[in-house]
Structure 1
Amino acid sequence: MTFLSPYLLLFLLVLPALWWLVRAIPPQPRRQRFPSLILLRTLSPTRQDAARTPLWLLILRMAALALLILAFSQPLYIPQQNHQTPQNLLLILDNDWAATPHWEDRKKHALALGEATLRSGGHVALLLSAPEADGHMPHLLQPADRMALQQVLAGLSAQPWPSDRKALARELQALGPKLRDTTVITLSDGVAQPGDEALQSSLQPAQRKEDIRWPRCDLLRLSIQHSPHVMVQAETLPDCPKQTLRLLGMKLGTSNHFTTQANALLPTGAPHELESLLPDSSSLDALSLPSVPGPAGIVLLPGKAGQRRIGLLRTNGDDTPLTGSNFYLARAMQAVIPYQEGTADSLLPRHPDIMIATDGTLSGTALDDVLAWVRKGGILIRFAGPDLARQSQQTMKNDEAALLPVPLLSGMRQLGGPMSWGTPQKLAPFPINTPFAGLTIPDDATIFRQLLAQPTDDLSRHVWATLTDGTPLVTARREGRGLTVLFHITPTADWSSLPLSGLFPQMMERLITRTPTMQQTDDTSHTQSDSLAPWRVLNTDKTLGLPAPSVRPLLKTTDQAVDALHQVGFYGGAAQHHPLNLADNQRPLADEMALGSLRPAGQAVLEHPLWPALLLLALGLLLLDLCLSLGRSGLFRLSRRAVLGLGAGLLAGGLQAPSLHATDINQAVPAAALATRLAHIQTGDATTDDAVQQGLEGLTAFLNQRSTTHLDHPVGVVPGQDDLAFYPLLYWPIIPGTHLDDAGKAALKAYIQHNGMILIDEMGAGGAMDGTDGSATRTALKNATEGLPIPSLTTLNEQHTLSHTFYLLHDFPGRIAGQPVYVARQGNDDSENVSPVIIGNADWAHAWAVDRNGEHPFAVIPDGESQRTLAYRFGFNTIIYALTGNYKNDQRHYPEMLKRLKNGPDDGSDGPDESEAP
């Protein structure tokens, strides 16, 4: 044990003087006259007076003072060290993804080691092995004292990417001769990574080297492979015992948060086919091991069909019921994805990702528009037919030929029948590098007719499926930044039985989900079209967030592994969802070579301050002294049992007082208190709640792009269950059936009384898009707001602060226009307070809404996008109004102030009368 302020122990010499002082000055005796001996017999003493202080009370007081002196001397309990404390200590702390399982314990070990060196008067330096988010290595940290070391370690967190051992080796080499008298202790993650040899070589000059490691089999990493089936594996280090973990199938929601859709059991150590574990995995966006923290416990899956916009291009004569091409395609697409059907003029303005065209000709502006769309990145899937068979490759225009992946021979090939020597052909196994790889081909899928491709030198490069005789069935070719795919048969049953089999919808599903990620480029140059911009990155808590500006695009032509500049996440935008996972393009897990004498990590024993317990015990003894003194004076009585119980309780409390160590203080902070965000009151109707969530997401993005305010993702709340105090603005959609229980009304009442603001929206009830008279919604609004402290309301006009908080607004439309907006009525003194309630019927949420593809899913009437802009501006003003109040209210006094400033000095008067000042 040691003392941080040992000089205060000199006050212990004062204790004998206190003894002498108490004995030299005894209490003054009290005199009392006795009127009669008879009265004296009936008296009973109510207080005890002594000539001097009792010995036990003197000892109690001296013990309390001694404990106070000891407490202010700040004694520390120092655990016994099993090794020599170095004077120059260099700590190397692995802070990459593999350090996540024991991260807090690693920091405690680093703090215990550093405290011992600093206490002995030595020097401590700290190096981190993982680069920062900008790709640069952290600088060498040199805390001067114990508190500085605590602050440094408290601010560290494990990074969701691997370490850079080569850069760490260069940092050590830069220290040069300083390592010769330095002890280097590495708190390693135990995983082999590139640069281990360079790191070990750079540590050779060190005076002493130690390598502290945690249990190796606690480390797991989830990985996924496409070969050709989707295989998932929970990787461990070699020779670790097998265990069974719970695997969750996750779905990405509109707010970029994952929700669990399915679960299964996954044994460790070997790959398992995903379809056998989770049969409905085609709709999943991620797989997660809840027992594995950080990015090692989750893999992201490629973008699904449901995330793409599909258009079915209508041509003449193909929509005959039960037999037309569109009928077969529609039946196949129903099992894959919702789609939109129309002509080129109606589909292209909707910005589809993929268009499917049946047999027919495109001409004029439609041909030019579709070709331009493909060259900008669109995917066109075509089917053959009689019209395409009649066209000659020599007479075909260049634009028409550009929409075909390969040149075609004129005419149609007949397989089987009385006029043919051939027989119907079956499908050959699909090549491994195509979207159809791994699909099972049924025996009843036969081809009767097909269009043949002209033999060329590079024909094999464009073939995705063939018949058993080797002739192409599906071909594909890159056109600009897009892709054209051709089925050499019709989608109907007149050329083949393939559309009648279960293989046909599976092939369509593979085309839609995997074609955008296929690398079908003919060159290897890294052009702009070969890069995928970061869309969302994975945080350490397994949630998706916006990428930092330092995150670089992902090149499709290279096998990029995860690093600080290419983080785990989705690349390519909301429609493509190309994932980069932690295990992608990485070696299997292996043990790292020892960087010194190996030492297993035990339980870190830190220095414990003893003065809190001593101080509490001293104060308890003083309290006990006070109680005993009052009892002796007769003010109240204390039994001996009570005295003994009070003393025992104080002693036990002092001995069990927790030490106030900085690293042991963990206060639960609500997530809503860590960032400013909007919130909406959930209605219980999934459609309405999803639309409102999308609306607040769109409004938040609009505000973050156009101001320095940064709001986090909005959330849905339930009054009475969630704490509303953290949200500056609540959006409350009112629908028929909306109601609040007593707890909800009490929560909203407290929210309004504590300066909260509620935007109440009747969601266009009774309007052109509602189809009702709105009476049910108005009744629900009346019932829900009954008992709330809503002030007198008036119509919002141009003079109100809300109309010019940021944008100057004359109208306040939402999805529909022309609806009045109500705010609190101004006071009698013509001053304007902040309105706690804003009520309208413009349906602002649907006007603000933005879907996962960045599009506006809901139309606004009657003025379209210009009206949507005004709706965004109203929402912008409302948020600024909720955050800043009526600071813009002074603008109405500006004309009078300018007038007085202009006329005051020139009119010869002494200035304006104070009673007339605005």
Structure 2
Amino acid sequence: MMSAALSYLVLGPVTFLSPLVLLGLLVLPIIWWILRVTPPQPKKAEFPPLQILADVMTEEETPDSTPPWLLLFRLLLAAIIAIALARPILGGTTNDISRPLALVIDNGWDAAPNWAVTIKDAEKRISKARRDNLEVLLLTTTTPDETAAFGPAQAALDIIKTLSPTALPPQREAAAKVLASVDLSDAKTIWISSGLDFGAAEILGTEVAKSASASRLQPLPTTLPIVPGDVVETGSGFRTIWHNPLATARTIGVTAHDRSGSVITRGELNFIPGKTTAEAEFELPADLRNRISSLRAVGLPSAGTVKLLDDSWGRPLIGVLTTGKDTSSPLLSEPYYAQTALTPHADIFTGTLDTLLPLAPSIIIMPDEARIDDPELTDYVETGGLLIRFAGPKLAKRSDSLLPVLIRQGDRALGGALTWEDPQTLSQFSQESPFFGLNIPNDVLVKQQIMAEPGAQTDAATWARLDDGSPIVTSSVKGLGRIVLFHVTAGPEWSNLPVSGLYVDMLRRILPLANATPAPEQSTIGDWSPDRVLSGYGRLITPSIQTGSLADDVFEQTPLSETHPAGLYKQGSRLRARNVVTEPGALKPIGNVAGVTPMNFDTATDRTLGGLLLSIALIMLAIDVLFSLLASGRMGYLKPNFGKASKVFGLIAALSLIMIVPFDAQAQDTEADNNPEAVSDALGLHLAYVKTGNGQIDDLSDAALQSLSRALTQRTTIEPVGVRGVTPGQDPLVFYPFLYYPLERDAQPLSPEASADINAYMAGGGTVVFDTRDQGDRALTGNLIHPGLAAVTQSLDVPQIGPTPEDHVLTKSFYLIQRYPGRWVDGTVWVDKNRNGTARDGVSSVIIGSNDWAAAWALDDEGQGLITLEDDMPRQREMAMRFGVNLAMYALSGNYKSDQVHAKALVERLGQQQRDIRDLGRSDDGEP
């Protein structure tokens, strides 16, 4: 088959991309005639007696012809060259009838785990349609284009390269309507499906079946996504349930992450055949459990394999202040009611302030009977604690400094013998209140309260009012913490609120504020606005401009869309999760569709034959020289000492080469594939990281070093050309100035080959930067040795190390710095104690830290950080990048900055930096 424009030629399984070159085969007869009448040059022999005949005119003689076997050999050589230049491809086409191609692609969240295979298959099919000069219709199912129609294949190929999975489910019914408006009777329609049915697969399949040829590609069962279900807190941790729609045997890991993306714990799901659910149990202390913000399935990157957790998650640690006195009637004690209301939702501890503060509670509840005025309680609030206190006779007699508003002395009695006012009910909560949306029972009454001084400050701090407008709950920020005051007692003495269901709901709304950053008092709460949204691969990213807010009353009912995607939404200081999957049990695999042939993805690849044929042609050219010498009788000049044996040896060697090339083609292709990378690493500077086997950590390391490479290129004369991920023991390490080695706590010891490689690398002048990434957990682990670091370094020749001195070269190799921040700031950085160093130019062979530098270096294409930092210092990400620049300069340049020529100026500059470390202006060298 040949197109009208001769763009390609198909002969059996071989496709020629430049068929016009095959016209060169027409010159073979001319070559045959030239070779036949022009034999090889005969051997000359000087015979002096015949010199007298040199000037005698002779008749023209016809020379002997080229030997037939040599003539055929040379014609074959010319044919091979012509065929190679025609760019043949093996396996590039099929014998199917050429029809217009209609390509329907599922690009929802369920397609994300197989997206690389999906795009590869789609590009291959569209490229074939372009070679066949056929039109293509391209339709995606999440946002079907109503104007989709058949068009040039090149346009479809340009579009396919821009596609990516979304965090939305496929809209197959809408896609079916688009296909119904297109004539598919003569088309070949291929539906690249995700494998999961969302209720309309049969409808779309019916439209696909109307084509002349209809098929559906389905992913392998092991790559179908699993989806999260319920997450249940337990006394020792929590339990999570996951769903496998295909009900096959699978073992998949689950990781729990905090808000910065760090892994807190891991679990394992074991699905058994015939069962669609599996559970994973996690045992964690309360403080670690409450830090979890998401659960993710390992190895299945998708928005649907992520479970986002919000303020409703976690059991905060709450301390209830008591007087320390025993009572035989707990119902008469004020702490009883708050403790009973919060026990299902928090871990409650009671006691005095001295016994509660060592537990580091996130909330302290102070009833009036246990009221204290202690500086330690003030420090607790100002450093980020949440204090919930209740009014009573003690507060009515004397106020103190731990109050959100100014109060009047005395209490206000309602409904008593000496009053003319009836007990008051609560007014509806305003939108600025965290209690907004709660239903207020009509039987909740207040008969006594503490009155607040009226004014604008009191109005701004009021969360709840009575019907007459007087505040009943007020709150304000104090330092980094917050104070909440109920203007009634913690028991039923002044109001029946503590014995109502509304009391429980109000306290639950306050719980999430324990870990929230204090918001300005005048902030408007209102609707839920998007904070971060999920991408198709399950990453939390910044919302786009078109992402809109959601009203509280329609938050749960609003379907997912580009305007209202899945993610985390904020309402003031409250955080609410909007997950992709709400009914995991309803998902099921796509079954057989009538008229649509199920197929697996085409993993076969086109094999270019041009290079192999040219290699054969070059070898044949070399052999042709040997054959020419043999035919002309000059073979003996090659090896005069070996006689006829040299001829036999030469022929055997040539024939061996011809036989080896086809059978060893694949090995040569592999070697050719590997050599360019090795040559590139040798000729151009690359930064490198050690692969851990954890895809998330390796991707973060790659992104971090890519960002550092760009910073080096922009700011210094160092211009890295790329980033490599290496595996010690398998990949050469000699090309890289330093290796970034992120460590997990469960890292395994190195193999003997890997240990030998790293030891040789360090001995030859390389630097290994070990990053344990656990500085944020040091409050829990103390000074215990990192188990992963201990396991990896047990077989390495690590020198004696110590904390980085203040005048170390790392502090001045490019920027003048005194701290080495990453995601965290205060982790100690350890280097070789020997200032001269055993490696080149005094560079330490190891650098060990725990600040998680990759998290701070990693930036997206727009220069935004991929991981949220702790912000423990001004411009933390910029300072982390400066440390990365210093690290690269140190590894490449050695200790030249440690000389004494510039010591005075450097010391002065370092001193200025220490005195003015929070200056946000530009430094003397003009750098920001």
With the length of structure 2 as denominator, give the TM-score of the two structures: 0.52
Residue 817 of structure 2: aligned partner:
761
Single out whichever of 585-594 and 452-461 deviates more from structure 2. Answer: 452-461
Of 77, 80, 105, the match for 1:64: 77
Given that residues 37 and 66 in structure 2 are in contact (C-alpha distance below 8 angstroms), is that contact kept between their aligned partners in structure 1? Answer: no
Of 436, 440, 452, the match for 2:492: 452
Of 386, 410, 426, the match for 1:354: 386
Amino acid corresponding to residue 452 of structure 2 in structure 1? K
**By how many angstroms is 1:726 displaced?**
11
Per the alignment, do residues 150 and 330 of structure 1 end up closer, same or farther by CA in structure 2, a change over 3 Å counting? Answer: same
Of 213, 220, 245, the match for 1:237: 245
Per the alignment, do residues 375 and 334 of structure 1 end up closer, same or farther by CA in structure 2, a change over 3 Å counting? Answer: same
Of 192, 216, 231, the match for 1:211: 216
Of 570, 573, 579, the match for 1:581: 579
1:628-667 matched pairs, under 5 angstroms: 629=628, 632=634, 636-637=638-639, 640-641=648-649, 643-654=651-662, 657=665
Once the two structures are superposed, residues 403-448 of structure 1 have per-residue CA deviations (whole angstroms, 9 ceiling, x without a partner) of 79799xxxxxxxxxxxxxxxxxxxxxxxxxxxxxxxxxxxxxxxxx
Of 391, 397, 405, the match for 2:452: 397
More RCO (CA 8 Å, sep 6+): 1
Residue 613 of structure 1: aligned partner:
612
Percent of pairs with identical residues: 20
Per the alignment, do residues 598 and 297 of structure 1 end up closer, same or farther by CA in structure 2, a change over 3 Å counting? Answer: same
Aligned residues: 632
1:361-380 matched pairs, under 5 angstroms: 361=395, 363=399, 367-368=403-404
Helix, strand or coil at the partner of 2:197:
coil
Given that residues 527 and 549 in structure 2 are in contact (C-alpha distance below 8 angstroms), is that contact kept between their aligned partners in structure 1? Answer: no
Amino acid corresponding to residue 787 of structure 1 in structure 2? D
| In 1: Cα distance, 2:254 partner to 2:134 partner | 49
Given that residues 90 and 126 in structure 1 are in contact (C-alpha distance below 8 angstroms), is that contact kept between their aligned partners in structure 2? Answer: yes
Amino acid corresponding to residue 250 of structure 1 in structure 2? A
| In 2: Cα distance, 1:726 partner to 1:457 partner | 65
Per the alignment, do residues 514 and 51 of structure 1 end up closer, same or farther by CA in structure 2, a change over 3 Å counting? Answer: farther
Given that residues 814 and 868 in structure 1 are in contact (C-alpha distance below 8 angstroms), is that contact kept between their aligned partners in structure 2? Answer: no
Amino acid corresponding to residue 476 of structure 1 in structure 2? M
Amino acid corresponding to residue 503 of structure 2 in structure 1? V
| In 2: Cα distance, 1:166 partner to 1:666 partner | 47
Helix, strand or coil at the partner of 1:95:
coil
**By how many angstroms is 1:92 displaced?**
0.6
Residue 865 of structure 2: aligned partner:
none
| In 2: Cα distance, 1:552 partner to 1:564 partner | 9
**By how many angstroms is 1:66 displaced?**
0.7
Once the two structures are superposed, residues 120-168 of structure 1 have per-residue CA deviations (whole angstroms, 9 ceiling, x without a partner) of 443112112234xxxx9698486735x7766654554433432233553
Structure 2: stretches of 5+ with no match in the other structure: 1-10, 50-62, 326-348, 365-373, 408-429, 436-445, 467-488, 518-523, 640-645, 691-700, 741-758, 769-811, 845-873, 877-881, 883-895
Helix, strand or coil at the partner of 1:367:
coil
Helix, strand or coil at the partner of 2:39:
coil
Of 6, 31, 35, the match for 1:22: 35
Per the alignment, do residues 634 and 528 of structure 1 end up closer, same or farther by CA in structure 2, a change over 3 Å counting? Answer: farther
Of 190, 194, 197, the match for 2:195: 190
Helix, strand or coil at the partner of 1:168:
helix
Of 220, 226, 249, the match for 1:221: 226
Per the alignment, do residues 788 and 634 of structure 1 end up closer, same or farther by CA in structure 2, a change over 3 Å counting? Answer: farther
Per the alignment, do residues 630 and 533 of structure 1 end up closer, same or farther by CA in structure 2, a change over 3 Å counting? Answer: farther
Helix, strand or coil at the partner of 2:621:
helix
Once the two structures are superposed, residues 13-58 of structure 1 have per-residue CA deviations (whole angstroms, 9 ceiling, x without a partner) of 322332332232234434445899xxxxxxxxxxxxx976444333
Residue 521 of structure 2: aligned partner:
none
Structure 1: stretches of 5+ with no match in the other structure: 37-49, 380-390, 408-448, 465-474, 485-510, 518-526, 683-692, 729-739, 750-755, 791-812, 816-820, 822-834, 848-859, 880-918
**By how many angstroms is 1:64 displaced?**
1.0
RMSD between superposed Cα atoms in Å: 6.5
**By how many angstroms is 1:71 displaced?**
2.0
Helix, strand or coil at the partner of 1:597:
coil
Per the alignment, do residues 453 and 82 of structure 1 end up closer, same or farther by CA in structure 2, a change over 3 Å counting? Answer: farther
Once the two structures are superposed, residues 635-674 of structure 1 have per-residue CA deviations (whole angstroms, 9 ceiling, x without a partner) of 644553554344343444346646999xx9999999xx9x
Per the alignment, do residues 354 and 345 of structure 1 end up closer, same or farther by CA in structure 2, a change over 3 Å counting? Answer: closer
**By how many angstroms is 1:555 displaced?**
5.5
| In 1: Cα distance, 2:283 partner to 2:266 partner | 10
Once the two structures are superposed, residues 646-705 of structure 1 have per-residue CA deviations (whole angstroms, 9 ceiling, x without a partner) of 4343444346646999xx9999999xx9xxxx99999xxxxxxxxxx9xx99x99xx9xx
1:220-619 matched pairs, under 5 angstroms: 220-226=225-231, 232-237=240-245, 240-241=247-248, 243-252=249-258, 256-259=260-263, 261-267=265-271, 269=275, 271=277, 274-275=280-281, 281-302=289-310, 325-333=352-360, 352=384, 354-357=386-389, 361=395, 363=399, 367-368=403-404, 393-394=448-449, 396-397=451-452, 451-452=491-492, 460-464=500-504, 476=506, 511=511, 528-535=525-532, 537=534, 540=537, 544-553=540-549, 557=553, 558-559=555-556, 562-572=560-570, 578-584=576-582, 588-592=586-590, 597-602=595-600, 604=602, 605=604, 608-619=607-618
| In 1: Cα distance, 2:668 partner to 2:137 partner | 25
Of 124, 127, 137, the match for 2:136: 124
Single out whichever of 122-131 and 630-639 deviates more from structure 2. Answer: 630-639
Per the alignment, do residues 315 and 544 of structure 1 end up closer, same or farther by CA in structure 2, a change over 3 Å counting? Answer: same
**By how many angstroms is 1:90 displaced?**
1.4
1:162 equivalent in alignment to 2:169: yes
Residue 103 of structure 2: aligned partner:
91
Given that residues 405 and 452 in structure 2 are in contact (C-alpha distance below 8 angstroms), is that contact kept between their aligned partners in structure 1? Answer: no
Residue 913 of structure 1: aligned partner:
none
**By how many angstroms is 1:61 displaced?**
1.9
Given that residues 745 and 787 in structure 1 are in contact (C-alpha distance below 8 angstroms), is that contact kept between their aligned partners in structure 2? Answer: no
**By how many angstroms is 1:452 displaced?**
0.8
Residue 112 of structure 2: aligned partner:
100
Per the alignment, do residues 650 and 743 of structure 1 end up closer, same or farther by CA in structure 2, a change over 3 Å counting? Answer: farther
1:727-746 matched pairs, under 5 angstroms: 743=762, 746=765
| In 1: Cα distance, 2:203 partner to 2:925 partner | 55
With the length of structure 1 as denominator, give the TM-score of the two structures: 0.53
Helix, strand or coil at the partner of 2:101:
strand
Per the alignment, do residues 615 and 563 of structure 1 end up closer, same or farther by CA in structure 2, a change over 3 Å counting? Answer: farther
| In 1: Cα distance, 2:152 partner to 2:161 partner | 15
Once the two structures are superposed, residues 440-497 of structure 1 have per-residue CA deviations (whole angstroms, 9 ceiling, x without a partner) of xxxxxxxxx9721666699744132xxxxxxxxxx7269xxxx55xxxxxxxxxxxxx
| In 1: Cα distance, 2:648 partner to 2:294 partner | 68
Given that residues 92 and 184 in structure 1 are in contact (C-alpha distance below 8 angstroms), is that contact kept between their aligned partners in structure 2? Answer: yes
| In 2: Cα distance, 1:172 partner to 1:213 partner | 20
Residue 918 of structure 2: aligned partner:
868
**By how many angstroms is 1:589 displaced?**
0.8
Once the two structures are superposed, residues 320-341 of structure 1 have per-residue CA deviations (whole angstroms, 9 ceiling, x without a partner) of xx9973224325546999xxx9
